[in-house]
Amino acid sequence: MGLLARIQESMAMRRVKATLEGAKSAEHGSEAARRLADVGSERCVPVLCAALGKDNPVLQVEAVRALAAIRKRRPDAHVLEAVTAVILNERQRLEVRKAAVECFVEVIDLRRAGCLLEVLRSPRSPLPVRAAALQGLKQLGYPEILERLVEATLFGPKDDPRGEIRRWAVRELTSLGDPEKLSRIHEIIHGRRKLHYQSFAAVPGGPASLVPVMAQIDPKGSQRFLLMMADEGNPAVREAAAQALRVVRGQGQAPAAPPPA
């Protein structure tokens, strides 16, 4: 780091500290944190981590971005710990968590993506944060995106009373460019791919609740699988497949999510 950059870093650090101590406005602190994204080194990580605890979303977002920029220039385990804590903190403001997810993806590889999976699996994660985590996992090349989306469709009425997570997951499954997605969902329904037991237990009909999802995400392509499942030994699966077949052939109403328990 050159002398000028080091001077600029020191000035910006003092302004952030002054904001944390109440001597400067949050606007001054945010501008200083933004400057540290350009000139900051590992020595300003503690003050930026402290800024994450300040109840001001603009300052927090700028601090997250600065930490990610510093991590790109020089790996620092404290940065990952701090940003992970923001991502997983369910009391943290939505916009701050979302920014943390987006920045986090830029400075990690797939081996460190566990917190993004936790976001997807928690029914308490707000949809914007959940969507950011999904996009991050796609960007990192996570191979089981479809399985995580199927998990999301199975959250029961207790965890997702308005069905928002399920509808979001179905939309994401519909847009997923995976030519094998129907085959894999068929495998999941028949138990050859394991998902969390509590997810299956959370909805009436268990795996049968995924049958109308197949028809929703690909009405034309799903017919072959629905025909096979219409002869299924499991009566819940068989009935769901027959109903879905009537829908895709234009003989019934669109299949709906399972009714609340």
Give the number of other CB atoms < 10 A from CB of residue 36: 27
Model pLDDT, residue 257? 46
* 143 inside domain: no
CA dihedral defined by 242, 180, 117, 142, rounded to 10 degrees?
180
By the 8 A CB rule, do 70 and 45 touch? yes
Question: Tens of pLDDT along 222-246?
Answer: 999 999 998 877 888 899 999 999 9
* 16 inside domain: yes
What does the block give as tokens for 12? 């910006």
* 173 inside domain: no
Ramachandran quadrant class, 203 (left: phi over 0; alpha: psi -120 to 50; beta: rest): beta
* 5 inside domain: yes
Burial environment of residue 218 by CB neighbours within 10 A (0 to 12, 13 to 18, 19 or more): middle
Low-confidence ranges of the chain (pLDDT < 70): 1, 157, 192-205, 251-261
* 157 inside domain: no
Taking Cα atoms as reference points, which of 62, 110, 109 lies closest to residue 86? 62
CATH for 40: 1.25.10.10
Taking Cα atoms as reference points, which of 10, 98, 4, 95 lies closest to residue 55? 95
Alpha-carbon radius of gyration of the chain: 23
User: Considering the entire predicted model, what is its pTM?
Assistant: 0.83
149-182 burial, b for 16+ CB within 10 Å, e for fewer? bbbbbbbbbeebeebebbbbbbebbeeeeeeebb
Model pLDDT, residue 231? 84
Model pLDDT, residue 203? 59
How many folded domains does the chain comprise?
1
* 8 inside domain: yes
Structural domain that includes position 14:
1-107
Model pLDDT, residue 3? 81
DSSP-based three-state secondary structure for 14: helix
* 248 inside domain: no
* 154 inside domain: no
